[in-house]
A = this chain, B = another copy of it.
């Protein structure tokens, strides 16, 4: 029976972990794999490579309404952007203060650099969130001081889909502290981000999360914000990120932003319809609960906790139906620790273990919903029958 199911078309619901490159992006960027110079070279061929990078910078600046294309720094990944945003500001501004803040539900590529700084004398505190994952604004205000150099908050959460009130957070941060860094990896391309209107000082973007190639990330840096390099070398990207530019990935990311800007509204509406139908049909399964905010959530994101069964077993069972889901963040899959995000919203250890995350994308259709729901129902029944947790 498993074999028969394997022949069915794959239903991929783990876009938070990895996304295919959009064929239009590939068509646009493909030539730069086989024919391109080094943008630091002065001959025309090299200067053409430079022009491709500058075009991409402009497209990305427009996508997030940045002041100018000069605010866009290309990195190798969202992890690297987060590291520069945190270590790069902390090191550069240490004479102004050594306190750093992050919400308790940030990605580990935000939390780990902060813990590293903590080992080296910085004061690192986490801001609690409510049971939906919304940052506690009173606690944020209480934890901030004039010594707080950088406060890092995700725009939307990868694991529970909750969208944070960034504009309000920005006002509170700037009332006392210095910089607001926003990890926009999960939210960008799903909901509009306007760095100027929302008062964002530093913003992380990932190419692959926008259907662009892996190998490019962006750190938006508002004019005047002081950051230093964390990986010195050839001095590319205004000295902030060394290494020969990955023109293919950079060109692809720019084009991915153009497509996202054009199609985001209709595509997000489409995904939200599928998502809402999934949520309404899955949460009626006995002892199955939505995690994250019911309304203020990313339109492509559905996440649940299912009592008495393990997320890893859910994932493997769903895979037998050729449906790919996640349990917590892909990066943490190696550990048996429950997700820090689910613990932060108040779940007990045993509750946090039964997590299932679905992130939708362009390949998903509303007609897939019955098959997905049927697979979840059968999975829950079968696993509960086997479960010692029951």
Binding site for B on A (CB under 8 A): 10, 12, 14, 17-18, 20-21, 23, 26, 33-38, 40-46, 49, 76-80, 82-83, 107-109, 112-113, 115-116, 208, 213-216, 230-236, 242-249, 312, 315-316, 318-319, 324-326, 329-334
**Are B41 and A116 interface neighbours, CB within 8 A?**
no
- Tell me if B82 and A233 are in contact (CB < 8 A): yes
Nearest-neighbour CB distance to chain B for A246, whole angstroms, equals: 4
- Contact assessment for A10 and B215 in the assembled complex, using a CB-CB cutoff below 8 Å: no
Pairwise interchain contact B80-A40, C-beta atoms closer than 8 A: no
Top-8 shortest CB links A-B: A234-B331, A215-B215, A109-B233, A112-B232, A17-B38, A76-B76, A43-B319, A79-B243
CB pair B20 A316 closer than 8 Å: no
CA separation between A334 and B46, bound complex, in Å?
13
Tell me the number of copies of this protein. 2
Task: Please give, as numbers and ranges, the residues of chain B lying within 8 Å of A33 by CB-CB distance.
Answer: 20-21, 26, 213
Known A12-B45, A14-B38, A83-B232; 9 more pairs at CB < 8 Å: A18-B46, A18-B49, A20-B34, A26-B34, A79-B231, A80-B243, A109-B233, A214-B245, A234-B330
**Alpha-carbon separation in the docked complex, A214 to B45 (Å):** 17
| A278–chain B nearest beta-carbon distance, Å | 18
Query: Which of A14, A23, A79, A214 has the largest count of B CB atoms less than 10 A from its CB?
Result: A214
Q: Contact between B319 and A233 (Cβ–Cβ < 8 Å)?
A: no
Kindly state the separation between the CA atoms of A76 and B215 in the bound complex, as whole angstroms: 7
Residues of chain B within 8 A (CB-CB) of A21 are 33-34
Most chain B CB within 10 A, of A44, A216, A242, is at A242
Whether the pair B214, A244 counts as a contact (CB closer than 8 A) is: yes
Report the minimal beta-carbon distance from A28 to chain B, rounded to whole angstroms: 13
Is the beta-carbon distance between B334 and A235 smaller than 8 angstroms?
Answer: yes
CA gap between A212 and B79 in the complex, in Å? 23
Of the listed residues A18, A215, A216, the one surrounded by the most CB atoms of chain B closer than 10 A to its CB is: A18
Once the chains are docked, how many angstroms separate the CA of A348 from the CA of B219? Answer: 41
Whether A233 contacts B315 in the complex (CB less than 8 A), given A213-B33, A331-B40, comes out as no
- In the bound complex, what is the Cα–Cα distance between A14 and B39 (angstroms)? 12
- Cβ–Cβ < 8 Å partners of A77 in chain B: 76, 243-244, 246
Complex: A82 Cα to B38 Cα, angstroms: 20
Contact B38 A330 (CB under 8 A): yes
Inter-chain contacts of A236 with B (CB < 8 A): 331
Inter-subunit contact A215/B249 (CB<8 Å): yes
Identify A232's interface contact among B10, B113, B326, B334, CB under 8 A. B113
A sample of 15 inter-chain contacts (CB < 8 A) reads: A18-B36, A20-B33, A33-B213, A38-B330, A40-B333, A41-B324, A42-B312, A44-B319, A76-B77, A77-B243, A109-B232, A214-B244, A214-B245, A215-B249, A244-B331
Q: Contact at B41–A208, with CB atoms within 8 Å?
A: no
